[in-house]
């Protein structure tokens, strides 16, 4: 893996613990995730505001849900790549965030499980977690079946709010 790929991979781990590569908004912009564009609500959001991960330098390339995220903005202000690097961890902002949607709760789990790991190790574990064990096709947080081989996946159950 070259330095550019390593830097890109590091950028796909949000300060809050979100693995951007598994997020529908990011993943739909990739070749393996293009099938998500068949879902009308995702297609409209992605076409209106394509996402390159919440750490993208160009804010027009950050998902509309993440660009104004108080946890993301705080991590920039605190110069913390991960919330676990902040002296206020875990703060009320982060606790509120992690009490939200299923992938937010998954991010909390990831932060705790990866304390002490390098970003490279974290990325590798996350990549393995969000890859079909049967065929190796990548998938996103809420997918239940692999689009490549139809295997049952360990995706998150969507919140019915």
Q: Is residue 42 part of a domain?
A: yes
> CB within 8 A of 105, min separation 6: which ones?
98, 99
Say if CB 45 and CB 26 are below 8 A apart. no
Point out the least confidently predicted range of 11-15, 45-49, 134-138: 45-49
Of the pLDDT bands very low, low, confident and very high (cuts 50, 70, 90), residue 124 is very high
Q: Is residue 89 part of a domain?
A: yes
> In degrees rounded to 5, what are phi and psi of residue 145?
-130, 145
Structural domain boundaries enclosing 91: 12-129
pTM for the model? 0.89
Q: What percent of the chain has pLDDT over 90?
A: 65
Of the pLDDT bands very low, low, confident and very high (cuts 50, 70, 90), residue 40 is low
Q: What is the mean pLDDT of residues 110-135?
A: 93
Q: Is residue 146 part of a domain?
A: no
State the Cα–Cα distance between residues 130 and 116, nearest whole angstrom: 21
State the Cα–Cα distance between residues 50 and 61, nearest whole angstrom: 6
Q: How many CB atoms lie within 10 A of CB 132?
A: 20
Say if CB 51 and CB 23 are below 8 A apart. yes
Q: Is residue 34 part of a domain?
A: yes
Q: Is residue 35 part of a domain?
A: yes
Q: How many CB atoms lie within 10 A of CB 62?
A: 24
Q: Is residue 85 part of a domain?
A: yes
Residue 29 pLDDT more than 90?
no
State the total domains in the chain. 1
Token pair belonging to 2? 């070259």
Mean pLDDT of the chain: 89
Tens digit of each residue's pLDDT (9 = 90 or more) over 71-85: 999 999 999 999 999
Of the pLDDT bands very low, low, confident and very high (cuts 50, 70, 90), residue 160 is low
Token pair belonging to 154? 């360990």
Q: Is residue 121 part of a domain?
A: yes
């Amino acid at each position: 893996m070259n330095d550019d790929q390593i830097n890109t991979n590091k950028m796909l781990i949000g300060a809050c613990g979100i693995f951007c590569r598994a997020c529908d908004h990011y993943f739909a912009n990739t070749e393996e995730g293009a099938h998500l564009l068949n879902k009308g609500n995702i297609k409209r959001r992605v076409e209106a505001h394509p996402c390159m991960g919440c750490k993208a330098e160009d804010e027009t390339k950050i998902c509309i849900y993440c660009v104004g995220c108080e946890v993301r903005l705080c991590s920039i202000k605190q110069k913390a790549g991960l919330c676990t690097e902040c002296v206020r961890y875990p703060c009320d902002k982060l606790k509120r965030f992690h009490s939200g949607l299923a992938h937010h709760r998954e991010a909390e789990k990831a932060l705790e499980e990866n304390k002490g790991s390098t970003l490279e190790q974290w990325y590798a574990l996350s990549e393995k977690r969000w890859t079909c064990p049967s065929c190796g096709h990548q998938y996103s947080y809420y997918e239940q079946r692999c689009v490549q081989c139809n295997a049952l996946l360990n995706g998150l159950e969507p919140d019915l709010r």
